[in-house]
Amino acid sequence: MLNNNGKIGIFDSGIGGVTVLKEIIKILPKENYIYYSDSKNNPYGDKTSNEILEICDNIVKYLLKENCKIIVIACNTASAIAVDFLREKYNNIPFIAIEPAYKMVYDFAYDKPTLIMATKGTIESKKFNMLYKKYNNNKTYIMECIGLADIIEEENTKKINEYLEKNIGSYKGKVENVVLGCTHYPLIQNEIKKVLGNVNFFNGAEKVANHLKEILIEKQLLLNMLENEKGTINFFDSRNSKIKKERFFKILEK
């Protein structure tokens, strides 16, 4: 039986999911969180579906032992590949998944040329293909950003700038919208702007936060706390990396 004192579990292949957690904390500051950064298995984007299913299954087992009442998959790749499997296997716990914010383009900037950036795993997934077909504005380029999440994870600005110049430089002047279809990419918005100019970014994190809140209310799982009390945030890294931990809290507090 789930109880509202449980934690909110959230995971990603590394620190990218912090971009989602930041949005969540804005509207749910009193909840207690446990963030699982899976740097041991990073990157997810180039792994097979079976590998991703097994990885996610193990993370969920860990989060359930930590008394989580709900789990947020703060990774587009893991969401696209594993959420149906997880919902079926753990049918007593709600899962909140993220997807590339292509519907937002459809709703707010349909007539504008768009670049979707995401991992290979996301782009090749059935879920993404259904989303793309449904909201296709016929002015969209899709870019499999192989290796980009790894260098963001490494925090290697030089490599990131070179990567972007080489791989998305040709879209300069051609696109006005950019869908950040991997939770690591909001961390490099400034670098993307340097290459593409003043584009509009679309990111699914805020929608995930709102959806999480709705589900907690619907299932009566919101934490009852006194006014002004702040929740706790625990960070776990599968490699026990101190550097990741420091970076995580630095981004969170920015």
Residues that bind ligand DGL (CB under 6 A): 12-13, 16, 42-45, 75-77, 119, 122, 149, 182-184
Question: At residue 202, what is the residue type?
Answer: F
Instruction: Assess whether 68 carries a catalytic annotation.
Output: no
Instruction: Please say which residue, 77 or 177, places its beta carbon nearer to ligand DGL.
Output: 77
Q: Does 145 participate in catalysis according to the annotation?
A: no
Separation between Cα atoms, residue 249 and residue 252, nearest integer Å: 5
Long-range pairs, 133-139, Cβ under 8 A, ≥24: 134/103, 135/102, 135/103, 135/105, 135/106, 137/105, 137/106, 137/110, 137/111, 137/112, 139/111, 139/112, 139/113, 139/114
Q: Where are the beta strands (DSSP E) in 176-226?
A: 177-180, 200-202
Which residue type does 211 have?
Answer: H
- Residue 65 makes CB contacts below 8 A (sequence gap 6+) with none
Identify which of residues 69 and 184 has a Cβ nearer to ligand DGL in the complex.
184
| Run of H or E including 117 | strand 114-118
DSSP state of 145: -
Nearer to ligand DGL, 6 or 43 (CB): 43
Q: State the minimum distance, in angstroms, from the CB of residue 86 to ligand DGL.
A: 16
Beta carbon of residue 159, minimum distance to ligand DGL (angstroms, whole number)? 15
Task: Report the nearest approach of ligand DGL to the CB of residue 5 (Å).
Answer: 29
Q: Which is nearer to ligand DGL, 35 or 221 (CB)?
A: 35
Q: Which residue is nearest to ligand DGL (CB)?
A: 45
Other Cβ atoms less than 10 A from the Cβ of 144: the count is 18
59: part of which helix (H) or strand (E)?
A: helix 49-65
Nearer to ligand DGL, 147 or 231 (CB): 147
Nearer to ligand DGL, 51 or 176 (CB): 51
CB of 189 to ligand DGL, least distance (A): 15
Distance CA 143, CA 148 (A): 11
CB of 58 to ligand DGL, least distance (A): 15
Residue type, 95: F
Q: Which of 56, 68, 75, 145 is catalytic?
A: 75
Q: How far is the CB of 191 from ligand DGL (least distance, A)?
A: 16
**Separation of CA 13 from chain center:** 9
Query: Which active-site residues does the annotation give?
Result: 75, 182
